Each structure stands twice: as C-alpha cells, then as structure tokens.
Amino acid sequence: MMGAQAIAVSGMGANSAWMDAIASNVASMRDESALPAPNLPYTGYQPVTVQLSASAQGGVVATTEPLMPAYSAGFDPSAPLANAQGLVAVPNVDLATAVVEQTMALQSYRADATVFRVAQQMTKTLLDTVA
C-alpha cells in the first residue's frame, strides 16, 4: 500500500506523460506523408494516446499506445508527396480534442500536487505534535 504522497507523485508522473504525448501530437499534426498503398504500412508520424490505469500497489500508471487510425487523407495538391488526386496522409490529430485533453491533464496534475502538499503538511503537523 502506498502513502498519499507516493500516490500523488505517481499521478503527477502519469499526467506528465499524458502532456508529453499531447505536445508531440500537436507538434506533428501538420506532418504530411504519402498515402500508403493498399496492404502497405503507414510510414508517417504515428500519433499516440495515453491510457491511465490504477496500479496494483496504489497510484496510477500511464501507458502510451498508438492512436488508431493513425492518419486521414488530406487534400494538398502542392505537396511533393501528394498522389495523382492531390491527397496526402496527415496524422489523425484533432486540435480541439488535444486542447481539452491538455486542460484535463493540467488540472489532474494540479490536483495531485495539492494532495502531495497537503499530505506533506499533515506529516509535518504530526511530527511537530509528537516532538
């Protein structure tokens, strides 16, 4: 069983991983690549998502997974990798969703930091009372 501070630290770490994934996705959302031919793998930027789950010992674990589908077709006939119809593959990243997820991750991080700070103050108060 983990203490409140350790649980809060695990949450802060998980939310940091979530923010890193969001930042990577947003930074690469305009990367264009050639549309893959049928039965060939996509070679462009692979957006990721983070799954947060409870740890058996307490706290939170962040797992990064590829976002599927990884791309959608975009129209850009001036792109060097565009096909005959002017289509390119663009990462499947929605900016509005990314902003909402970023806000959620930030608020979760702040909540975990508050839990950590309060647990630290409670421990100090207890030690001051005993001493």
* Most trustworthy range by pLDDT among 9-13, 57-61, 125-129: 9-13
Which tokens belong to 114?
């508050």
Q: What is the pTM of this model?
A: 0.88
What string of DSSP letters covers 77-127?
A: TTSTT--TTSEEEEE---HHHHHHHHHHHHHHHHHHHHHHHHHHHHHHHHH
* pLDDT value for 44: 96
Q: What is the pLDDT of residues 63-114, one digit of tens each?
A: 999 999 999 999 999 999 999 999 999 999 999 999 999 999 999 999 999 9
